[in-house]
Amino acid sequence: MPRPPLHDDLPTRDPTQRGGRPRRAPVEVPALVLLWAPEEPGRVGEVALLGGPAVLGRGGARPEDPAPRLVLGRHRPGGLVAGGPPVSSGVSRIHAVVSPAGDGVRVERRGRRALRVGGHEVDAAVVRPGETFEIEDQLLLLVTRRAPEGPPAADASFTFGAADRHGLVGESPAVWALRAAIEFAARAPNHVLIHGPSGTGKELIARAIHAASPRGGRALVARNAATLPEGLIDAELFGNVRGYPNPGMAERAGLVGEADGSTLFLDEIGELSPTLQAHLLRLLDRDGEYQRLGDPRARRADLRVVAATNRAPAQLKHDVAARLMLRVEVPGLEARREDVPLLLDQILATITTHDPALVARFRVADAPPRFRVAGALVDALVRHPYRTHVRELERLVWGAVAESPGDTVGLGPATVAALAAAAADATLGSADDVAAESDAAVAAPDDETVDPGADAIRAALARAGGSVTAAARALGLRNRYVLYRLLRKHGLGAT
């Protein structure tokens, strides 16, 4: 009889790599992640690793079983801590047989309730990584691949599925890798560049790095770099002495002076032109040299700069990028789809905090908070092509709550329409981003942008039907982000 497909029986590697040989890449195996289980909400996020065929069903093993039982467990640094098979009452004792099939999983129905893949009832199917399957009204699972030894080591002293001490939610390998990167960056003294798509929580990561660093006892100083006025950037950053530039002017420490001994977070640093980025060069050197306006002497600040951008790091001024020595990549939701149900619960906890009526309607558990949510909504949100990631997920969840009159947050017609519209926007946005990067690639990286003026911008937007990317191209600008800066400068709004 084959042995149970627990993590100890699956391919792994010795992390010490005896004999001094190079470390090998982790061996990944097919895995199933529990996304939704209305009778077992506290188990959402648990994982089953497949080393061979296994029975997906309720209860313990029996001699007549065609394969070992599928065991779900908590997959964290160090490996899988098994928790047992599902216990949902509507799941048959042998509901399906699952087995590795290439990089995916073959599922064969044996139980009474329907097996659905991609919204269609099937008796058997091969489900690829990133796809889901459902046992009707009982379980929703995502197919993925996992390294049995677990994700990178990081602090795991918080409840499974809950937010960690920095507010970061997720049990996926991508989020555990992010936690490890945060811990490394917090210990290091170097300046940091946080890179990731819009809406992924880059400011949350910056605050986590600061809080976990030796500077965490002091207040973080934060500013959106895109709001630094072109003609006043030195005054905003470095401050001025008393009486300069006008008599009676009060002395100002500037952002750098305020952050002395702490961390200065500059969000959207990529929105600064190369010329404005150059103002940071001396500050970013190891000794933190800067000069207040009107002050004949140079000063030095003991500060650390953490910057963030959603643009490719190669689009930053090269010598600025070189001084931001540490890089922390923030994954989008496409790299951590198994975290969407956990984020959904966290968002619902926030939404219901100040509304006891909503808590009474939807909440089913407290630690961590779990809510009554329709499987169709979870499936749609997990498979959705996000453009602004967690920010977009929050908007979609708010809409779902607003149109759910009963005791379950469901997938109503307005939410279906919002998902479809957002998916269309994501497709168009991808094409726009490719065009913008192409525009940026052919521009001289250190050229200052010429301002075409408010009237020319209005006319270009009108001819382009409101498309910022098309208008930027027609005006000869590097990319749409430059036009966004000019729209803010002239007080214009994109139509």
Of 345, 383, 394, nearest to 163 (Cα)? 345
Burial status of residue 170 (CB atoms within 10 A of its CB: 0-12, 13-18, 19 or more) = buried
Beta bridge partners of 306: 192, 265
Residue-level pLDDT, tens digit, the chain, 495 residues: 333 344 334 443 343 444 445 556 678 999 999 999 999 999 999 999 999 999 999 999 999 999 999 999 999 999 999 999 999 999 999 999 999 999 999 999 999 999 999 889 999 999 999 999 999 999 999 999 999 999 999 999 999 999 999 999 999 999 999 999 999 999 999 999 999 999 999 999 999 999 999 999 999 999 999 999 888 899 999 999 998 888 878 889 999 999 999 999 999 999 999 999 999 999 998 689 999 999 989 999 999 999 999 999 999 999 999 999 999 999 999 999 999 999 999 999 999 998 999 999 999 988 889 999 999 999 999 999 999 999 999 999 999 999 999 999 999 999 999 999 888 776 665 555 545 444 444 333 444 457 888 878 877 776 765 667 777 878 888 777 788 778 777 766 443
Per-residue confidence (pLDDT) for residue 229, from 0 to 100:
85
Tell me: domain 335-424, CATH 1.10.150.570, correct? no
Helices (H) and strands (E) in the chain, counts: 15, 21
- Give the whole-angstrom CA distance, residue 338 versus residue 331: 13
* Buried-state track 420-448, b at ≥16 Cβ within 10 A, e below 16: eebeeeeeebeebbebbeebbeebeeeee
Q: What is the CATH number of domain 173-331?
A: 3.40.50.300
Per-residue confidence (pLDDT) for residue 439, from 0 to 100:
45
| DSSP 8-state code for residue 373 | B
Per-residue confidence (pLDDT) for residue 398, from 0 to 100:
96
- Give the whole-angstrom CA distance, residue 96 versus residue 109: 4
- Give the whole-angstrom CA distance, residue 58 versus residue 40: 12
Answer whether the bond into residue 413 is a cis peptide, omega within 30°: no
Beta bridge partners of 264: 221, 305
Question: Residue 367 is which amino acid?
Answer: A
Residue 264's CB is within 10 A of a number of other CB atoms, namely 26
- Give the whole-angstrom CA distance, residue 75 versus residue 175: 12
- Give the whole-angstrom CA distance, residue 7 versus residue 226: 48
Helix (H, G, I), strand (E, B) or coil at 143: strand
Angle (CA) 293 299 305, round 5°? 95
Q: What is the CATH number of domain 7-146?
A: 2.60.200.20
- Give the whole-angstrom CA distance, residue 284 versus residue 280: 6
Per-residue confidence (pLDDT) for residue 16, from 0 to 100:
40
Per-residue confidence (pLDDT) for residue 453, from 0 to 100:
85
